[in-house]
Amino acid sequence: AQSVTQLDSQVPVFEEAPVELRCNYSSSVSVYLFWYVQYPNQGLQLLLKYLSGSTLVESINGFEAEFNKSQTSFHLRKPSVHISDTAEYFCAVSFISHMRFGAGTRLTVKP
């Protein structure tokens, strides 16, 4: 069965520090991978996606994620976070009929 695991439920960091939010998945078939972000009191928004091609994908606000097939991971990274990055981040795997989400990681950026 396919599943998505986000290893950290909460990640507190200081502003301008690097951050990595971890995501692992299990699947016996090829998958498409996504990261969504939910800012406080808002709906989920697509942050970035891996469909094929280059295993490193980037978002417009400085986040990047790397698809690692051998480790079945799709970790999200940012070299220097801002206060405005405070949000909940969801890793998602899409296969067959619908998207399956991880439990989410709450990123809190402190001044």
Partner 1 sequence: GAGVSQSPSNKVTEKGKDVELRCDPISGHTALYWYRQSLGQGLEFLIYFQGNSAPDKSGLPSDRFSAERTGGSVSTLTIQRTQQEDSAVYLCASSPDGEVNSPLHFGNGTRLTVT
Binding site for partner 1 (CB under 8 A): 6, 9, 32, 34, 36, 42-46, 49, 51, 90, 94-104
CB of 91 to partner 1, least distance (A): 9
Q: Quick one: tokens of 39? A: 């800012």
Residue type, 56: L
Choose between 15 and 101: whose C-beta lies nearer to partner 1: 101
With the C-alpha atoms ordered 81, 107, 92, 46, is the resulting torsion angle positive or negative? negative
Whole-angstrom distance, CA of residue 21 vs CA of residue 65: 9
Choose between 77 and 101: whose C-beta lies nearer to partner 1: 101
CB of 15 to partner 1, least distance (A): 26
Whole-angstrom distance, CA of residue 74 vs CA of residue 95: 15
CB of 78 to partner 1, least distance (A): 20
Strand partners, 76: 21, 65
Choose between 15 and 100: whose C-beta lies nearer to partner 1: 100
